[in-house]
Structure 1
């Protein structure tokens, strides 16, 4: 019983010290995830356009590299969100033990 009360008190003190995350933090996180997908996609498309102009072939470099950039960006965003989720759960679980 005393251990549970101590753990709850620690969580309350930590919440007061750290504060609660606001709406702007959430919007910033969404923006960060969006940019982590958009940048590789646009870079792939730009490189594809350059390759199509200089080394034209049967297949479109633009389309291929656009899709490759999109996949790379989605994998990057997924890994980042998974790491953040893992960090949040580890942080939340540390106070309960």
Structure 2
């Protein structure tokens, strides 16, 4: 003898499968990026800012140590490195969002 709950289980199961299939198809059409893609972009942005910042910072330290100047080349190169790094990160994010 079957109960009312047992009679609705196949329909509920079919509905659940249909919803999951539609969600998967919609995700493929929208080309949503996964977790790994997001983490990869996070790393790319971090390195695209950190690399020019550190390189120009080292250059500024070297200039300050080598030549006498009333200006702090370390500070100037740090600011320039951060600006270049942010422009670099903006370029990569814009490029990724377009394609």
Q: Could you say whether these structures have the same fold, taking a TM-score greater than 0.5 normalized by the shorter chain as the test?
A: yes
- Give SS of 1:57's match: coil
1:71-96 Cα deviation digits (max 9, x unpaired): 00000110111111111xxxxxxxxx
Q: Give, in whole Å, the separation in 2 of the partners of 1:46 and 1:23.
A: 34
Q: Give, in whole Å, the separation in 2 of the partners of 1:67 and 1:20.
A: 35
Deviation for aligned residue 1:56: 2.1
Distance 1:21 1:85, change over 3 A: closer
| Residue of structure 1 equivalent to 2:42 | 30
The runs of at least 4 consecutive aligned structure 1 residues that moved more than 6 Å come to none
Higher RCO, 1 vs 2 (CA within 8 Å, ≥6 residues apart): 1
> For structure 2, which runs of at least 5 residues remain unmatched after alignment?
1-24
Q: Which moved more, 1:21-30 or 1:45-54?
A: 21-30
Could you state the TM-score of these two structures normalised by the residue count of structure 1? Answer: 0.68
Number of matched residues? 74
**2:94 aligned residue (75, 82, 86):** 82
Could you state the TM-score of these two structures normalised by the residue count of structure 2? Answer: 0.66
> For structure 1, which runs of at least 5 residues remain unmatched after alignment?
1-11, 88-97
